[in-house]
Structure 1
Amino acid sequence: MPADLAHIRQVMAEADCIYTEAEVEASICQVADAINSQLADSNPVVFCVMNGGLIFSGKLVPKLNFPLELSYLHATRYRNQTSGGELFWKAKPEISFIDRDVLIIDDILDEGHTLGAIIDFCHHAGARAVHTAVLIDKDHDRKARPELKADFVGLPCVDRYIFGYGMDYKGYWRNAPGIYAIKGM
């Protein structure tokens, strides 16, 4: 069923800007600095989690000033919905990371189901160490694994439904130039 584009446009028109483009860009630079200082000598395999991590990865990876191998994986619980379900693998990693450091780049650490499953997958597949970088860490007490923390975090975020910089609303507005919260959500 095609999207109601009038509704999609209205969502953006009414949204609250949580972080401006300048604030997001500054946070990406800070994340890059932290990764550069901690992983420069580790020869990591870097995975972008599609689709959400695409914009964050695209802005972050060129700021990493050390050799790395880059690939992607695609695991989702949302499938263009506003609430998550069972983990679904669309594309598993194709680069071997046996006895290698792995850096997973994703858009958001919300409840942590998807990121936790990806971390587990990497450990079971032989990664020496698994590091995570997220643009947004949502602040709430619904974490699937309360001990799960991202190693590198761009920005904290209030517990609202957000979109922009890779995060979507029903498949739209990943391209929004900032982080926005849906009115009333």
Structure 2
Amino acid sequence: MSKDIEKVLLTEEQIEQRCKELAAQIEHDYEQENTVPIIVGLLRGSVPFMAELIKRFTFPCEIDFMSVSSYDGTESIGDVRIEKDMDLSSKDRAILVVEDIVDTGRTLSEVRKMFLNKGATNVKIVSLLDKPERRVVDIEADYVGFTVPNEFVVGYGLDYNQKYRNLPFIGVLKPEIYE
């Protein structure tokens, strides 16, 4: 699998260190608000990032998952589909959405609207990666691990055709793999 990687953008150590920093910032903010959030991971890409993040929280929180899709292969198709809704109710609750990457912004924009329509008191977003060059919807994450260039990145939850999620780093996939 590593032979398919053109270069490593972020090492496992860099990601772990940034997760510690993000967790401290998020914890501080929710403690200031005196709020117990529901931490909602967007399946499947967010799982490694979410696991790394929440194990560092010492404040009370609940966790849940959603499966949301707007991609077909390598392209965002603009049609956001909820494939699995969360089990907990978001009514009158604070929501922290955990995402692997903010790319076009379509998925997160729709997810945020959905939570607000269901009565969430507020919706914040934490994303491991941000790729602002690809944004087509005006949305920003409240907490961002790293800003990355407009390259095809995989690893640490990010995939190409469901592969490479288990890499312990973020790497750029060789173009001949996906072209």
Of 45, 53, 67, the residue aligned with 1:60 is: 53
Q: State the Cα deviation string for residues 36-91 of structure 1 (Å, max 9, x = none).
A: 11013211111010001111111111111111111101101125x11122212210
Aligned residues: 173
Query: Which amino acid is the alignment partner of residue 163 of structure 1?
Result: V
Residue 18 of structure 2 aligns to a residue in which SS?
Answer: helix
Q: State the Cα deviation string for residues 73-116 of structure 1 (Å, max 9, x = none).
A: 1101125x111222122101220121111000010011111111
Query: Which amino acid is the alignment partner of residue 26 of structure 1?
Result: Q
Unaligned runs of 5+ in 2: none
Q: TM-score, normalised by structure 2?
A: 0.91
Corresponding position of 2:165? 174
Query: Which amino acid is the alignment partner of residue 75 of structure 1?
Result: V
Query: Which amino acid is the alignment partner of residue 136 of structure 2?
Result: A
- The 5 A counterparts of 1:125-136 are 125-136=118-129
- The 5 A counterparts of 1:146-185 are 146=138, 148-184=139-175
Distance in 2, Cα, partners of 1:28 & 1:168: 20
Of 72, 75, 87, the residue aligned with 1:83 is: 75
Distance in 2, Cα, partners of 1:114 & 1:126: 19
Corresponding position of 1:39? 30
Is 1:110 paired with 2:103? yes
Unaligned runs of 5+ in 1: 1-8
Residue 84 of structure 1 aligns to a residue in which SS?
Answer: strand
Distance in 2, Cα, partners of 1:149 & 1:36: 19
Cα RMSD, aligned residues only: 1.5
Give aligned-pair identity as a percent. 26
User: Normalized per residue, which structure has more strand?
Assistant: 2
Runs in 1 of length 4+ with deviation above 6 angstroms?
Answer: none
Q: TM-score, normalised by structure 1?
A: 0.88
Query: Which amino acid is the alignment partner of residue 46 of structure 2?
Result: G
Query: Which amino acid is the alignment partner of residue 154 of structure 2?
Result: F
Change (3 A) 1:12 1:172: farther
Distance in 1, Cα, partners of 2:51 & 2:118: 25
Distance in 2, Cα, partners of 1:130 & 1:75: 16
Corresponding position of 1:48? 41
Residue 103 of structure 1 aligns to a residue in which SS?
Answer: strand
